[in-house]
Amino acid sequence: MANQSYKDQLNQSSDGQSQLQDRTTRYQNYINGQWLESSAGQYGQNRSPHNGELLGEFPASTAEDAKESIKAAKEAFPQWKKTSIQQRAVYLSKAAEILKSRAHEIGRDLSSEEGKTIAEGIGETMRAASILEFYAGEARQAVGQVIPSVNASTMIYTKRIPLGPVGLITSWNFPIAIPTWKMAPALIYGNTVVIKPADLTPKSVYHLVNALHEAGLPKGVVNCVFGRGSIIGPELLQSPDIKAISFTGSNQVGETIKEQAIKTGKKVQLEMGGKNPLVVLKDADIEKAVYIAIKGAFISTGQKCTATSRIIVEEDVYEMFRDRLIERTKSLKLGNPLDAGTFMGPCVSKSQQDTVLTMVEEGRKEATLLYGGTVPEQEELAKGFYVQPAIFEITSQDARIAREEIFGPVVTLLKVTDYNEAVKAANDTLFGLSASVCTNNLSLAQQFVDDIEAGMVHINSETSGAEPQVPFGGVKSSSDGPREQGKTAVEFYTQVKTIYMDQL
Ligand code: UN1
Cβ(181)–Cβ(153) below 8 Å: no
**Which of 178, 182, 253 is the best mutation target for the ligand 1 pocket, counting ligand atoms within 8 Å of the beta carbon and taking the most?**
178
Q: How far is the CA of 76 from the centre of ligand 1 (A)?
A: 31
pTM for the model stands at 0.95
Single-letter amino acid code for the residue at 167: G
Q: How far is the CA of 6 from the centre of ligand 1 (A)?
A: 31
Secondary structure class of 344 (helix, strand, coil):
strand
Ligand 1 pocket residue status of 137, Cβ below 6 Å:
no
Q: Which atom of ligand 1 is nearest to the CA of 271?
A: 10
**Exposure pattern of 134-154 as b/e (b: 16+ CB <10 Å)?**
bbbebbeeeebeeeeeeeeee
* Chain mean pLDDT for the chain: 95
Q: Indicate the burial class of 33 (C-beta count within 10 angstroms; 0-12, 13-18, 19 or more).
A: middle
Q: How far is the CA of 236 from the centre of ligand 1 (A)?
A: 24
- What confidence tens digit (pLDDT) does each residue in 140-196 have? 999 999 999 999 999 999 999 999 999 999 999 999 999 999 999 999 999 999 999
Secondary structure class of 357 (helix, strand, coil):
helix
Ligand 1 pocket residue status of 464, Cβ below 6 Å:
yes
Ligand 1 pocket residue status of 271, Cβ below 6 Å:
yes
Residues 353-365, mean pLDDT to the nearest whole number: 98
Label residue 23 by pLDDT band (50, 70, 90).
very low
Backbone φ, ψ for residue 93 (5° rounding) = -65, -40
Residues 254-266, mean pLDDT to the nearest whole number: 95
Region for 59 from its dihedrals, namely left if φ exceeds 0, alpha if ψ lies in -120 to 50, beta otherwise? beta
Q: How far is the CA of 274 from the centre of ligand 1 (A)?
A: 10
Q: Which atom of ligand 1 is nearest to the CA of 306?
A: 2
Long-range pairs for 96-99 at CB < 8 Å and ≥24 separation?
Answer: 96/129, 96/130, 96/132, 96/133, 96/136, 97/129, 98/16, 98/211, 98/214, 98/215, 99/125, 99/126, 99/128, 99/129, 99/132, 99/176, 99/207, 99/208, 99/211
Cα–Cα distance list, 75 to 241, 339, 354 (Å):
10, 46, 44
Q: How far is the CA of 171 from the centre of ligand 1 (A)?
A: 10
Q: Which of 57, 235, 305, 462 is catalytic?
A: 305
Quote the strand ranges of 74-163, DSSP E.
Answer: 146-148, 155-162
d(CA 161, CA 146): 16
| Residues across the chain | 504
| Contacts of 106 by beta carbon, 8 Å cutoff, 6+ apart | 99, 121, 122, 125, 176, 204, 207
pLDDT at residue 19 above 70?
no
Q: Provide the CB-side half-sphere exposure for 471 (13 A, CA).
A: 18
- What confidence tens digit (pLDDT) does each residue in 282-315 have? 999 999 999 999 999 999 999 999 999 999 999 9
Torsion of CA 396, 398, 399, 405, to 10 degrees: 120
Percent of the chain whose predicted confidence (pLDDT) is above 70:
95
pLDDT at residue 14 above 50?
no
Ligand 1 pocket residue status of 306, Cβ below 6 Å:
yes
pLDDT at residue 15 above 60?
no
Ligand 1 pocket residue status of 434, Cβ below 6 Å:
no
What domains, with CATH codes, occur in the chain?
Answer: 6-272+480-497 (3.40.605.10), 276-467 (3.40.309.10)
Residues 55-81, mean pLDDT to the nearest whole number: 98
d(CA 387, CA 334): 9
Q: How far is the CA of 348 from the centre of ligand 1 (A)?
A: 15
Number of neighbours of residue 78 by Cβ within 10 angstroms:
10
Secondary structure class of 45 (helix, strand, coil):
strand
Q: Which atom of ligand 1 is nearest to the CA of 463?
A: 2
pLDDT at residue 16 above 90?
no
pLDDT at residue 273 above 60?
yes
Secondary structure class of 16 (helix, strand, coil):
helix
Residue identifier of the C-alpha nearest atom 7 of ligand 1 = 305
Residue identifier of the C-alpha nearest atom 10 of ligand 1 = 305
**Which of 116, 117, 124, 174 is the best mutation target for the ligand 1 pocket, counting ligand atoms within 8 Å of the beta carbon and taking the most?**
174
Ligand 1 pocket residue status of 304, Cβ below 6 Å:
yes
Residues 380-395, mean pLDDT to the nearest whole number: 98
Task: For residue 105, give the H/E element and its range.
Answer: helix 103-114
Ligand 1 pocket residue status of 436, Cβ below 6 Å:
no
Long-range pairs for 82-88 at CB < 8 Å and ≥24 separation?
Answer: 83/190, 83/218, 85/138, 85/139, 85/143, 85/188, 85/189, 85/190, 86/139, 86/140, 88/139, 88/187, 88/188, 88/190
> Which has more confidence, 191 or 503?
191
pLDDT at residue 408 above 80?
yes
- What confidence tens digit (pLDDT) does each residue in 482-492 have? 999 999 999 99
Ligand 1 pocket residue status of 466, Cβ below 6 Å:
yes
Task: For residue 479, give the H/E element and its range.
Answer: strand 479-480
pLDDT at position 25, please? 84
Residue identifier of the C-alpha nearest atom 6 of ligand 1 = 305
- What confidence tens digit (pLDDT) does each residue in 89-137 have? 999 999 999 999 999 999 999 999 999 999 999 999 999 999 999 999 9
Q: Which atom of ligand 1 is nearest to the CA of 303?
A: 11
Q: How far is the CA of 272 from the centre of ligand 1 (A)?
A: 10
pLDDT at position 24, please? 53
Establish whether 271 is a catalytic residue.
Answer: yes
Ligand 1 pocket residue status of 329, Cβ below 6 Å:
no
Cα–Cα distance list, 304 to 18, 74, 296, 403 (Å):
34, 33, 9, 16
Establish whether 305 is a catalytic residue.
Answer: yes
Cβ(383)–Cβ(52) below 8 Å: yes
Long-range pairs for 487-492 at CB < 8 Å and ≥24 separation?
Answer: 487/138, 487/141, 489/135, 489/181, 489/185, 489/189, 490/138, 490/143, 490/160, 490/185, 490/189, 492/185, 492/244, 492/246, 492/267, 492/269
Rounded to a whole number of angstroms, the distance between the first and last alpha carbons of the chain is 70
